[in-house]
Amino acid sequence: MENLGPVISKHGVDKLGLGGVGRVYWNLSTAQLVEMAVKRNEGHLSRYGAFVALTGEHTGRSPNDKFTVKDAITEATTDWGKVNVPFDRDRFDALVARMCDYMIGRDVFVQDRFAGADPDHRLAVRIITEQAWHAHFSRNMFLQPTREEAEDFVPDFTVLQVPSFHADPTRDGTRTGIFVVVNFTRRLVVIGGTSYAGEIKKSVFSILNFLLPPKGILPMHCSANIGSTGDVAVFFGLSGTGKTTLSADSSRTLIGDDEHGWGPNGVFNFENGCYAKVINLSAEAEPEIFATTRRFGTILENVVMNPNTRRLDLTDDRYTENTRGSYPLWFIPNASETGQGGQPSNIIMLTADAFGVLPPISKLTPEQAMYHFLSGYTARVAGTEKGVSEPSATFSTCFGGPFMPRHPWVYGELLADLMRKHDTNCWLVNTGWSGGPYGVGKRMKIAYTRAMVHGALDGHLAKAGFAPDPVFAMMIPDACPGVPPEVLQPRETWADKAAYDATAAKLAGMFEANFKQYEPHVSDAVKKVAIRGKA
């Protein structure tokens, strides 16, 4: 949906200190922004109309250059450490002042948007950018106000993004010239030194992750969909676990693919767009997402394009493997028009266990769900480095550790409480290896995984018999339509049972070692379900 024309808020940008900027382009439409981006040589149109932009040296997030101002709001509530690095208040103020001075006489693009499809819990966000295509990105990713709302738009938070402005580490206290700094007292995020559009998206996500828990709303790095009966399912999973593939089900309506909240009114999308990886994307494997790469309104970031024919090569990773496509959610045929759903009936936690020892599907109690939510486990396959021959475990708390400002157990306890309150089932689904670790066993057949997910969502698995896994303790169903019974028991798929026992014990030890950091902060009920083993 486009506005009838650019709408200028009565509340301008001068209060931020940007009174001396050149022209302010307020809430331009997609077509206007694309036209300006091309005229300003910010990128080019592809053969079928998508806008192609290159971000230069920085083709992904800069997690080591992300900071939070330490003040009365954040000092006791933030999980300070490697992810949430404190930043001095005075230095922040000086940095913002220098950014505003830098922007004197320069044009800016403003998009006034909402983050959060639930009107009761949305955040009014003003995104001010140096380039038109970043304003286009913001327009794709967040929700559009009505004309009346836009005319009287007062931002709850402002994001100021100036890629051509670099910090001085000695003067500003940053690590490099790149910076992403959030100040919850001034309700302001400043981004500089990088053109990677994902910094805008993830900054807003991090803000919501801080603001929503005290309201009883769980922010989630997840996808979500709705079945024909109105049942809502939430999918957690790190990269490579199948979150996008399994949640993109033609028989179910997509609420969103990446960021959601779960609160009193149910599940709601934080965004109004998608920011999908497009490397090696094909029409055969993912037709809906592939189709977006051939639409006007899509932004393709760091995708290779022939300068003469304007044809795209989605297999070429010369700039980065992290090629991205940004497009409105309504480009996906079965996307929800409201971005909202009711209370979830099922939670699917996805892992790709390259050790090959976790059950392909198991049911978790609220305490076990909290444990696995805090663990956020998956395993990478063996690398190409000489001498590396076995998988490596990856733990990312809450399946989104880099974006969680508060202490992890705050999110974990909220998840368990909401599950109990709404009688929500939780399933741990292993899309990784069966019959042995990577290099010995085989990746779980996608047909089996789909059958198990469908069984969980349609209620068939709830009627099955269950028995606890002897090592990991979660409950394994004895039958699932479309899946051979032996596949459900990981030990039975291994030819070498002793090797399975040793590998399972080793992975259990990794779980135990990782969870030690949380044990002082969780209840005895959660400690009781913690996985024990020998590393």
Q: Where in the sequence numbering do the catalytic residues fall?
A: 61, 202, 221, 239, 243-244, 258, 324
Q: How is residue 111 written in tokens? A: 């998009």
CA gap 79, 405 in Å, rounded: 6
Q: Measured between alpha carbons, how far is 54 from 377 in angstroms, rounded to an integer?
A: 33
Q: Which two tokens stand for residue 451?
A: 């059958």
- Strand locations in 143-291, DSSP E? 157-162, 179-183, 188-192, 218-226, 232-237, 253-256, 259-263, 266-269, 273-277
The CA distance from 307 to 319, in Å, is 15
DSSP state of 19: T
Could you tell me if 158 and 204 are in contact, meaning their C-beta atoms sit under 8 angstroms apart?
A: no
Please name which of 336, 416, 333, 314 lies closest in space to residue 374, comparing C-alpha atoms: 416
CA distance 535 to 393: 12
Paired strand residues for 299? 51, 326
Per-position b or e across 472-498, b if 16+ CB within 10 A of its CB: bbbbbbeebeebeeebbebeebbeeee
Q: Which of 199, 128, 204 is nearest to 160 (CA)?
A: 128
With b for 16 or more beta-carbon neighbours within 10 A and e for fewer, the 172-193 pattern comes to bbbeeebbbbbbbebbbbbbbb
The structure tokens listed for 134 are: 């970043």
